[in-house]
Amino acid sequence: MKKSQSAESARRVVLDAATAADLMAPNPVSVAAGASVQEAVAFLADKGFSAAPVIDEAGRPVGVLSQSDIVVHDRESGPCVSGHREYYERSDLSPPKIIWRDVVNGDPTQVRDIMTPIVFSVAPETPAYKVIEEMLAHKVHRLFVVGSDGVLVGTVSTVDVLRHLRPEEPAKDAHRAVNTETAPRSLGYEPW
């Protein structure tokens, strides 16, 4: 940082949240593990999501389904299920809007068979700084928040964390702060 930068640009930020419950987006939408891949693709396309938590019959998270999981499944499923094999040969992998409607058309495969079966989760009462440490340790952009019964109650994303950053407020009367150990009486400091 250059010395010429203003104090305003050098202000610190603080996390304005105490727990995972403060950070989380509650009641996340999810995909059932027993849903067909075709249903999941329609769901993701309708919602505009690139991924979603996968839950079991009891509402407990069992994995994540992402567009990448779907593309890998579609590509590796033998004969081209989607009819768009040439799509995968392109160097630009940004999906055209119509492709997701046709991918896995008629495929009976269930979400549980292609999802990423890894769940990183925290409890609602987990301190906010621990949530961030978990995200960094696992190198993930999202954590599930699960209740004591293991049921998914929310998600915390890196964007959720960023939304809770606030500029640190300067201490009130900072210009009047006096070190009582070294302040001379001539400055008006009286120890009594």
pLDDT of residue 189: 43
Tell me, yes or no, if the pTM score tops 0.85.
Answer: no
pLDDT of residue 160: 96
Assess contact for 68 and 78: CB atoms under 8 A: no
pLDDT of residue 22: 98
SS3 state of residue 11: coil
pLDDT of residue 112: 97
Considering only CA atoms, which of 28, 29, 38 is closest in space to residue 114? Answer: 38
pLDDT of residue 40: 93
pLDDT of residue 169: 84
Considering only CA atoms, which of 112, 125, 91, 90 is closest in space to residue 39? Answer: 112
Q: How far apart are CA 143 and CA 120, in angstroms?
A: 6
Backbone angles phi, psi at 27, to 5 degrees: 50, 60
Per-residue pLDDT of the chain (192 residues; tens, 9 = 90+): 555 555 556 789 999 999 999 999 999 999 999 999 999 999 999 999 889 999 999 999 999 999 999 989 988 876 544 445 554 455 455 554 434 445 556 678 999 999 999 999 999 999 999 999 999 999 999 999 999 999 999 999 999 999 999 998 876 655 555 455 554 454 444 444
Cα distances from 125 to residues 41, 47, 159, 189, in angstroms, run 33, 29, 19, 44
Reading phi first (left if > 0) and then psi (alpha if -120 to 50, else beta), residue 166 is in beta
SS3 state of residue 160: helix
Domain annotation for the chain: domains and CATH numbers: 13-169 (3.10.580.10)
pLDDT of residue 57: 96
